[in-house]
Amino acid sequence: MAMNLGPSIKTAYFYVFSAVGVILMIVGVFKLSDFAVRSFLLDNYYLDYETGRCSYLEPVKVEGQPAVDNAVALESCKKDLERERQVKKVTDMASAITFTVVGAALFVFHYRRARKLS
């Protein structure tokens, strides 16, 4: 007596990938909420590694000359920090949207197929 497990395995496959789609959508929603908080509720888009990075610049000391003021280096550091904020903002938004859209597409496709097979 051989049992035919083909349809059951196929149905399980579609339900597992439906669950993966839901997980991706949940991650995407969390990323979207994190993006919204960082964008709209904080003064500057928060970078995890930013904390006072530009304030630690020390005056440049060249041998045989007095220390040079780092106003130019400080401005450059602030510009770089702002550019990093913009890049991080765009990449965070792109990954949040990607997770949500791919998860939704994966869920809808596989869940419909699983419902037809059950």
Which residues touch 59 (CB under 8 Å, ≥6 apart)? 67, 68, 69, 70
Q: 3-state DSSP call for residue 60?
A: strand
Q: Which domain holds residue 89?
A: 7-44+68-117
Domain assignment of residue 57, yes or no: no
**Structural domains in the chain (count):** 1
Domain assignment of residue 38, yes or no: yes
Please write the tens of the pLDDT for every residue from 41-99.
988 888 877 667 777 666 666 676 656 667 777 788 889 888 988 999 999 999 999 99
Domain assignment of residue 35, yes or no: yes
Percent of the chain topping pLDDT 70: 84
pLDDT of residue 93: 96
pLDDT at 118 exceeding the cut of 80? no
Instruction: With cut-offs at 50, 70 and 90, classify the pLDDT of residue 106.
Output: very high
Average pLDDT value for the chain: 85
pLDDT at 24 exceeding the cut of 90? yes
Phi, psi of 68 (to 5 degrees): -100, 140
Domain assignment of residue 63, yes or no: no
Domain assignment of residue 61, yes or no: no
